Amino acid sequence: MSFSNRLKKSLTFISLILTSYLTACSNQGSQQQVSIDGAAVGFPISLAVAEEYHKQNDNAVVSVASSGTGGGVSKFCAGEIDIVAASRTIKDEEVAKCKKKKIEFVELPIALDGIAVIVNRQNDFAKCLTIAELKKMWSSKSDSKVLTWNQINPKFPKEKMKLYAPASDTGTFDYFSQAVTGKAKNSRTDYNPSHNQNNLVQGVAGEKYALGYVGISYYIQNQDKLNIVAVESPTGKCEKPVPVDNVVKNIYTPLSRPLFIYVSKKSLDKKPSVKEFVNFYLENSWKWVDSVGYVALPDEAYMKVKQKLATGETGTKFKKAKPGQPITNFI
């Protein structure tokens, strides 16, 4: 099933799950309830795992939602959900909120993603951008000042840029801003934001001089509508996140990143259904990662992640990780 069809199906699936939950209230003892919310990027992986888990466990009630990394973490740290999916590392202030509510968590990378810089199909000049050029384009200092393409590079046309990007409370926004400008929130505000990355794709596809950035799966599913821009790596080579092997081998840097699930330690200890679901997730998610547009972890990483779940190690090791560093260094 294609990524776009899976997203459409998700609404029906979630509706069924919620209906099952409501009708199960009188028989909670036989139900296996698990709740997961968070990033739109990576959402299809969680959805695919939940669907398959439900097929194999008739009594399972797994609610899957996508309110963005920030929204999901907020619910998680309030103790409202068992698992949060995140397209960035949990922040210090979020760790503090969780600690205040006595929410310990196990940090589990589940896939890799490359943030794709996209332009309109008619754009034949922005073929490779340096990090310095991307910084000039997206930095907060450029707000309402850097408005035309030739301000980025004098070889580019003197045409007004139309910029599209995820909303400021998303993990993709934070990661891209950190990688490009050095600070997670150091981004201009005069762009077209959306929590739905399909809307960003449509915006760029409809404007000749538009540029945006999205998770790689959104580009892969819309290659006929978009051009992808190469990004100059620290070694001076122009690299793209496709083929996806460039992400696995850490060639597409610094815009390659891990995707996570954070699991409540309390839920793992008190709810057998959560532990069973997360084990199923780690054992099976790789089957759908490629098909929904993301990149499977290296085998070594999967082994370390499973060991981490088995030991119940809490806290984050990725706060010190810089964009582009190998994932296995921090598990």
pLDDT given at position 8: 42
pLDDT given at position 148: 98
> Measured in whole angstroms, how far is the alpha carbon of residue 35 from the centre of its chain?
18
Structure confidence at residue 324 as a pLDDT band (50, 70, 90)? low
Assess whether pLDDT exceeds 90 at residue 239: yes
How many CB atoms sit inside 10 A of residue 324's CB? 16
On average, the pLDDT of the chain sits at 88
3-class DSSP assignment, residue 157? coil
Average pLDDT over residues 208-230: 95
**Model pLDDT for residues 255-308, shown as the tens digit of each residue:** 998 999 999 999 999 999 999 999 999 999 988 888 777 888 888 888 999 999
Residue ranges of the chain that CATH labels 3.40.190.10: 3-113+258-329, 114-248
Structure tokens at 50: 């939940």
Assess whether pLDDT exceeds 60 at residue 70: yes
Residues in contact with 219: Cβ distance below 8 Å, sequence separation at least 6, in sequence order? 116, 118, 201, 226, 228, 241, 242
3-113+258-329 — its CATH code? 3.40.190.10
114-248 — its CATH code? 3.40.190.10
**Model pLDDT for residues 1-19, shown as the tens digit of each residue:** 444 444 444 433 443 344 3
14 phi and psi angles, rounded to 5 deg: -65, -40
Residues in contact with 197: Cβ distance below 8 Å, sequence separation at least 6, in sequence order? 40, 41, 166, 172, 214, 215, 218
Assess whether pLDDT exceeds 50 at residue 33: yes
Structure confidence at residue 32 as a pLDDT band (50, 70, 90)? low
H or E stretch at 215:
strand 210-215
Structure tokens at 162: 């139309």
3-class DSSP assignment, residue 225? coil
**Model pLDDT for residues 141-195, shown as the tens digit of each residue:** 999 999 999 999 999 999 999 999 999 989 999 999 999 999 888 999 999 999 9
Residue 188 vs residues 5, 126, 147, 179: alpha-carbon distances, Å: 33, 20, 11, 15
